[in-house]
Amino acid sequence: MARAAGVSQASVSLVLGGKWRGRVSARTAETVREAAQQLGYRPNLAARSLRTGSARTAMLVVPALTGDFFAQVHAGAARVAGEHDFGVVLYPSPEGIGRAPDPFDSARAALDGVIASSMAAEALSSLQDGGLPLVMLDSEPSDPMASAVVNPDIADGMRRVAAHLLDLGHRRVAHLAADVPSWTFRLRARALHEALGNFPGAELVATRGAALSVQDGQRAADELLALRPVPTAVVCDDDVLAAGVCKAARRAGLSVPGDLSVTGFDDLPLATALEPELTTVRLPAQEVGAAGMRALLAVLDGQRPATTTLPVALAPRASTGPAPH
């Protein structure tokens, strides 16, 4: 490339790196850019990374590719990364939120840092070996492994769900919990218990756990709907689970929301694909990703960013209605 332009390697690097002002003449800079254009020249990333010791790349670890949530998180992170000439590499953990085998082997880009969303804390231990800065999303804020944490306000979301149902007159509420040992679901359970516990006359009549699938949700819902008296509302940790409850209700001959109110969480596309549409909690997924990337850049910059909490919103829709008497 340098020979093609008839200039030194240094000039090429300076010009293409945008650091030429005051070090290379405008004329030379122009020559370089033309030649680069001509040749379709792309700097070798491996060489640059070896020389600078940085790959300008972050890895985003997510438990699953399914669902819109992580897609949004990635979109947000990628946007911010792009603004800082950074790249984002996605690593879907093969084990779900469980232990990530070895991201460094599988997505082997040279990395400057890791952003992990909604993973179980223990799952990230292999990441620690890398000695890379770790930003956690939707995760335990006091985790000592994390250089920074960015969370949607999960507890507030669940409180809003509870308030919404209490407003509608529901007093016998069941909880369909995600059987997943992560911070986000533990918090959802706790916030619901507290909100209901603090309201005189309201009762959390039962809790069932289920894996994050419609089928498991449906199976657990069957048990909940067999209770007597039947709860008037089922709060689900997740929209997928709520879909299972809706199926179970229909098969049990219960109408939603006439006989039973159902709430989801996350506002996945699924929430509006169902009929009736799900009342759920919308998480600012894009913003979570973007804030996570910003936090990582700050850490890389030597700063010590604080924990960030992002507001969530209740999306009241057709799956909730007044409690039957």
Partner DNA sequence: CTGAAAGCGCTTACAG
Number of residues forming the site for DNA (CB under 7 A): 29
- Which of 226, 282, 283, 238 has its CA nearest to residue 263? 238
At residue 80, the 3 state secondary structure works out as helix
* Nearest-approach distance from CB 195 to a copy of itself, in angstroms: 27
Closer of 19 and 250 to a copy of itself (Cβ) = 250
Candidate residues 246, 290, 299, 312; the one interacting with a copy of itself per rule CB under 8 A:
246
**Least spacing, CB of residue 87 vs a copy of itself, in Å:** 4
Q: With binding defined as CB under 8 A, does residue 107 bind a copy of itself?
A: yes
Taking CB under 7 A as the rule, does residue 151 contact DNA? no
Helices (H), 17-169: 26-39, 45-52, 68-83, 103-106, 125-128, 154-167
User: Cα 76 vs. chain centroid, distance in angstroms?
Assistant: 10
Contact with a copy of itself (CB under 8 A): which of 163, 227, 273, 306? 273
CB 246 within 8 A of CB 274: yes
Element of type H or E holding 91: strand 87-92
Pick what 236 binds: a copy of itself, DNA, none; C-beta below 5 to 8 Å, kind-dependent.
none
**Is residue 213 a contact residue for a copy of itself (CB under 8 A)?**
yes
Helix, strand or coil, per DSSP, at residue 40: coil
Cβ-Cβ contacts under 8 Å for 173 (sequence gap 6 or more): 162, 165, 196, 202, 203, 204, 205, 231, 232, 233, 234, 235
Residue choice 30, 39, 50, 82 for contact with DNA (CB under 7 A):
50
- Residue 32, token pair as written in the block: 């370089």
User: What's the closest the beta carbon of residue 41 comes to a copy of itself, in angstroms?
Assistant: 11
Closest separation in Å from C-beta 27 to DNA: 6
| Distance in angstroms (rounded) separating the CA atoms of residues 282 and 152 | 10
Q: In whole angstroms, what is the distance from residue 101 CA to residue 107 CA?
A: 11
Q: Which of 25, 251, 255, 306 binds a copy of itself (CB under 8 A)?
A: 251
* CA gap 94, 293 in Å, rounded: 22
Q: Is 1 in the site for DNA (CB under 7 A)?
A: yes
**Residues at the contact surface with a copy of itself, assessed by CB under 8 A:** 40, 42, 44-47, 49-50, 55-57, 64-68, 70-71, 74-75, 78, 81-82, 87-90, 92, 94, 104-110, 129-130, 213-215, 240, 243-244, 246-247, 250-251, 269-270, 272-275
**Residues at the contact surface with DNA, assessed by CB under 7 A:** 1, 7-14, 16-17, 19, 22-28, 41-44, 47-48, 50-53
